Amino acid sequence: MDITRASYPRAMTETEAAEYLGMSRMWLRIGRSSGNPETPPYVKFGRAVRYLRADLDRWIAERHVDPRQVYDQATGAGDAR
Residues 4-26: pLDDT tens digits?
667 899 999 999 999 999 999 99
N residues, the chain: 81
Please write the tens of the pLDDT for every residue from 46-77: 999 999 999 999 999 999 888 887 667 767 76
Please tell me the predicted confidence (pLDDT) of residue 17: 97
Cα first-last separation, the chain: 53
Q: Which domains does the chain show, CATH number per domain?
A: 5-75 (1.10.1660)
How many CA atoms are closer than 13 Å to the CA of 48, on its beta-carbon side?
7
Please tell me the predicted confidence (pLDDT) of residue 81: 46
